[in-house]
Amino acid sequence: MSDSPFIQLDYSIRSFARDWLYFDIFLDGVFVESIGSAPICARDGSFRYKPAVEEGTAHRITIYLPHNVELVIKELSYAKGAIVEPAPPPGRRMLCLGDSITQGMAARHPSSTYPVILSRTLDAELLNQGVGGYVFERESIDGFPERIPDIVTIAYGTNDWVQRASASEFEIKCTEYLEKACRRFSSSLIAVITPLYRMDASTDRASGSFSSIGETIKRVCSGISNLDIDCVPLVVDGSCLVPHQARFFDDGLHPTDEGFLHIAHNLVLMLEHG
């Protein structure tokens, strides 16, 4: 919250997974500007945003940082004497677990990823733990803060389809992970998202067909209700979240900004009417 006539951010880039860099800025919850470039022009940079605010009246200024770069913030500065105070926290907390799709790998803009759109729509403080290449692996659940989130989304499977040596191996890994996650977050609303459509979904792998991965996840979630776990996860059919058209994918796998908009919109509907 601030009434500063400018906000300046100085930064340095150590590495990047995609050759673009954007800072998305919202003023009082409304998108107002995106500052950056594609390709990335320099490893060191800064920008100055000048919000249209009146002195003495604090406004909520939200800056979404680039999500596919290793970014070091060197300095955040504002006008001398300006109001600068923490914004009120959202009403809920949300944890998103997943792979590069959850990370938002092919989205140009950080505010376009489905976790960010979800968190804004549901008024939730977001912790996005999407990591490129991740699969169902129960050890990855360890180490989270003790504060239990209100909402947890889990979206793995597409990398398992490529990496697992057999269908039975995948089912074992999926079962181990989801049982542990449901115990760890038993008081949360857990939404398990089966793999999104991908352009090579018609091929077969050692782990089976692509559709069989989603069916296995659904079967494992159904079996959790028979265990001594006070949690029944909501299963979301990921194949229905984004249109099966090439223009919604950057590389046949990772959704574009527009693709993420469809994913987030459909997820909100399913979570609300679950």
Show me where the domains of the chain are located: 7-78, 92-273
CATH number for region 92-273: 3.40.50.1110
Residue 274's pLDDT band (cuts 50, 70, 90): low
Q: What is the pLDDT of residues 105-162, one digit of tens each?
A: 999 999 999 999 999 999 999 999 999 999 999 999 988 777 889 999 999 999 999 9
Write the secondary structure of 143-192 as one string of H (helix), E (strand) and C (coil): CCCCCCCCEEEEECCHHHHHHCCCHHHHHHHHHHHHHHHHHHCCCCEEEE
Portion of the chain with pLDDT greater than 90, in percent:
93
pTM of the model: 0.95
Q: What is the pLDDT of residue 146?
A: 74
Q: What is the pLDDT of residues 220-245, one digit of tens each?
A: 999 997 788 888 899 999 999 999 99
pLDDT at 27 over 90: yes
Q: Which contacts of 32-38 are long-range, i.e. CB under 8 A and separated by 24 or more positions? A: 34/109, 36/66, 38/108
* pLDDT (average), residues 19-28: 97
Q: What is the pLDDT of residue 147?
A: 80
